[in-house]
Amino acid sequence: MRILLYTGKGGVGKTSISAATAVRCAALGYRTAVLSTDPAHSLGDSFDRRIGPQLTELAPNLWGQEIDLLSQMGQYWGTVQGYLNTLFAWQGMDTLVAEETAVLPGMEELASLMQITALADSGQYDVIIIDAAPTGSTLQLLSFPDMARWYIEKIFPLQRKTFQLARPIVKRMTDMPLPDEDIFDSIEELVTHLERMSDLLSDGTICSVRVVLNPEKMVVKEAQRAYTYLNLYGYSVDAVVCNRVFPRELADDYFDIWKTSQAANLELVHQCFHPLPIFEVPLFDQEVTGIPMLERMADTVFGPNPERDSHGDPTRKFYVGKPQDIFRQNGDYVLSIPLPLVEREAVNLHRSVFDELVVRIGNWKRNVALPTGLAKLEISGARYEGDRLNILFAAEKGVIIPAEELKPKRWDSLKARFRRK
The rounded distance, in Å, linking the Cα atoms of 80 and 179 is 9
The rounded distance, in Å, linking the Cα atoms of 369 and 389 is 16
pLDDT value, residue 174: 65
Q: Is 383:371 a contact under the CB 8 Å cutoff?
A: no
What is the enclosing helix (H) or strand (E) of 57? strand 56-59
DSSP 282: E
The rounded distance, in Å, linking the Cα atoms of 83 and 177 is 8
Q: What is the Cβ-side half-sphere exposure of residue 38, based on CA atoms within 13 angstroms?
A: 25
Identity at 366, one-letter amino acid code = R
The rounded distance, in Å, linking the Cα atoms of 302 and 47 is 19
Intervals of the chain under pLDDT 50: none
What is the enclosing helix (H) or strand (E) of 129? strand 127-131
Domain boundaries, the chain: 1-321, 325-418
pLDDT value, residue 152: 67
pLDDT value, residue 55: 92
pLDDT value, residue 101: 57
Sorted by sequence, the CB contacts under 8 Å of residue 337 that are 6+ apart come out as: 231, 232, 324, 359, 368, 388, 389, 390, 391
pLDDT value, residue 134: 81
The answer to whether the 1-321 and 325-418 domains have the same CATH topology is no
* Sign, CA torsion 138/142/145/146: negative
Sorted by sequence, the CB contacts under 8 Å of residue 78 that are 6+ apart come out as: none
pLDDT value, residue 88: 63
pLDDT value, residue 100: 57
The rounded distance, in Å, linking the Cα atoms of 100 and 107 is 11
pLDDT value, residue 197: 80
The topology (CATH level 3) of 325-418 is: Immunoglobulin-like (2.60.40)
The topology (CATH level 3) of 1-321 is: Rossmann fold (3.40.50)
